[in-house]
Chains A and B, each alone.
Chain A
């Protein structure tokens, strides 16, 4: 299965660089959060492995030759976790559960 519902940010090259401006970064993380959730919901995925994710099309736009570095992926995951949409499944935080709905919502 492939995902086709990419937001405009996905083709915007600087989307793949964590932004230094805090306000801009907040907007960026928000867009990433909704993209990650949408992507996992559409493909019916529930677990995200950070090392695999680095190569998946979600964080790696081959056409643009841009990819979100692993620090960026972790920032996105942590901001998802803050909203109750993700949780690490092991101590090393290399695998994460992605909740399309937060646990109370489920």
Chain B
């Protein structure tokens, strides 16, 4: 019969466990030390890189995209924080500045388009607002998309609505856009008009009358579109955000 452990044995066991723990934390510490050393090396490398290519990042849109893609593939978000050492590159500043400008343009055009603006118009207006110097001009649609996506952190004020053919609308008021409303916008953009009607929705999307009317009425209620009762056949619903004269008006 096996004797149960005596007091001496228990003490011995405890001592051993303690030793293992010490060794474990020692190992962890050395690993941590190594990690922070590596991080330091990484930072130095990056600073060197940044020193060389800072202007490149600000000026060159393709370079910016490539850099972003590289970051995405290793799971780092260079825009996540202004304190991250990626911002050494000034890439953060570039996008944060852009985000602020996007908000300004959206607010400034809100009164006429109801808070819905096409990304192309947004880009045109930004370029105009940023002045003539060459280095300010190079903003791509991708830059705007990444900047606008970051704005979502502030809550549901900004959202991006894809409307097909690589076109996007930026919505800057916290209205609710359901699948149906997005479909209406997409259909309108696809036809290349600024207007849509119940019968068009019925034929193209196979919706019944009620569904089409409900979706359109909601968008009128949100101030996204205007009704036109003087068309010969039926009521037309017009989106100022897609109406070219409205887009080019100051």
A residues adjacent to B (C-beta < 8 A):
7-9, 11-17, 19-21, 23-24, 27-28, 65-67
Q: 18 new A-B pairs (CB below 8 Å) besides A12-B226, A17-B226?
A: A8-B243, A8-B246, A12-B240, A13-B195, A13-B230, A13-B231, A13-B238, A14-B228, A16-B228, A17-B229, A17-B230, A19-B220, A23-B223, A24-B220, A24-B223, A27-B111, A65-B230, A67-B230
User: Do B226 and A14 touch (CB < 8 A)?
Assistant: yes
Check B236–A14 contact: CB distance below 8 A.
Answer: yes
Can you list 22 A-B pairs, Cβ within 8 angstroms, ordered by A? A7-B249, A8-B248, A9-B246, A12-B226, A12-B240, A12-B246, A13-B228, A13-B231, A14-B227, A15-B226, A16-B230, A17-B228, A17-B229, A17-B230, A20-B220, A20-B227, A21-B221, A21-B223, A24-B114, A27-B111, A27-B112, A66-B228
Determine the chain A residues whose CB is within 8 A of the CB of B228 once the complex forms: 13-14, 16-17, 66
| Distance in angstroms between the alpha carbons of A59 and B223 in the assembled complex | 23
Which residue of B111, B114, B238 contacts A14 across the interface (Cβ within 8 Å)? B238
Q: Which B residues are closer than 8 A to A by beta carbons?
A: 111-112, 114, 195, 220-221, 223, 226-231, 236, 238, 240, 243, 245-246, 248-249
CA distance A67 to B229 in the complex (A): 11
**Chain A residues within an 8 Å CB radius of B114:** 24
Contact of B236 among A13, A15, A65 (CB under 8 A): A13
Instruction: Decide if B230 touches A8 in the complex (CB within 8 Å).
Output: no
Chain B residues lying within 8 Å of A12, measured Cβ to Cβ, are 226, 238, 240, 243, 245-246
A contact patch SS: helix
**Hey, which chain B residues are within 8 Å of A7, CB to CB?**
249
- Chain A residues in 8 Å Cβ range of B195: 13
Q: How far is the CA of A12 from the CA of B229 in the complex (A)?
A: 13
Instruction: Return the chain A residue nearest B235 by Cβ.
Output: A17
7 A-B pairs with least C-beta separation = A14-B226, A8-B249, A14-B228, A8-B245, A13-B228, A17-B229, A14-B238
A21: B residues at CB distance < 8 A: 220-221, 223
On chain A, the residues within 8 Å of B243 by CB distance are 8, 12
* Bound complex: CA A26 to CA B197 (Å): 24
Q: Which residues of A contact B111 (CB under 8 A)?
A: 27
With a cutoff of 8 Å between Cβ atoms, the chain A residues found around residue B240 in the complex are 12
Which residues of B lie under 8 Å from residue A19 when comparing CB positions?
220, 226-227
Chain A contacts for B221, CB-based, 8 A? 21
A15 to B231 Cα, complex, angstroms: 12
Q: Which residues of B contact A20 (CB under 8 A)?
A: 220, 227
Chain A positions within 8 Å of B227 at CB level: 14, 17, 19-20
Instruction: Tell me how far the C-beta of A59 lies from the nearest C-beta in chain B, rounded to whole angstroms.
Output: 12
What are the residues of chain B within 8 A of A24 when measuring CB–CB? 114, 220, 223, 226
When C-beta atoms are compared, the residue in chain B nearest to A18 turns out to be B229
Task: For A68, give the chain B residue with the smallest CB separation.
Answer: B230
Q: What is the CB-to-nearest-CB distance from A61 to chain B, in angstroms, rounded to a whole number?
A: 10
Give the CA-CA distance A21 to B228 in the complex, in Å.
13
Assembled-state Cα–Cα distance A61/B112 (Å): 20
Question: From A13, which residue of chain B is reached at the shortest CB distance?
Answer: B228
